Amino acid sequence: MWNSYLALLMMASLMRLDYELNRPPETRADTFPLPQPGNLSHALRQKVWSEKAVQRYAAAQDRKWRRWNEAMFERSG
């Protein structure tokens, strides 16, 4: 009984593997559409926002590690 289920499972797995290996790859243009001319201002805003977010994250990490270093290595006297 279990052998027949395992054989069926193996057959289904091999068929899925064959399907995945033989289908054509997806192109990047299909998954990520290019911004339209009307959306350029939105895309530019997102770029500026992401650059600000990266800079603020880096500053926050610097403050965090500076505090950690002061807490770990300050002289207690």
Q: Where are the domains of the chain?
A: 39-77
Q: Looking at the predicted structure, is the pLDDT value of residue 1 above 70? A: no
Give per-residue pLDDT as tens, 3-62. Answer: 888 999 999 999 999 999 998 877 655 566 666 666 678 888 889 999 999 999 999 999
Whether the predicted model's global pTM rises above the 0.75 cut: no
Side chain identity, residue 73: F
> What's the confidence (pLDDT) of residue 57?
96
> What's the confidence (pLDDT) of residue 38?
66
Q: Determine the straight-line distance between the first and last CA of the chain, rounded to whole angstroms.
A: 76
Residue 32: what are its φ and ψ, rounded to 5°?
-125, 95
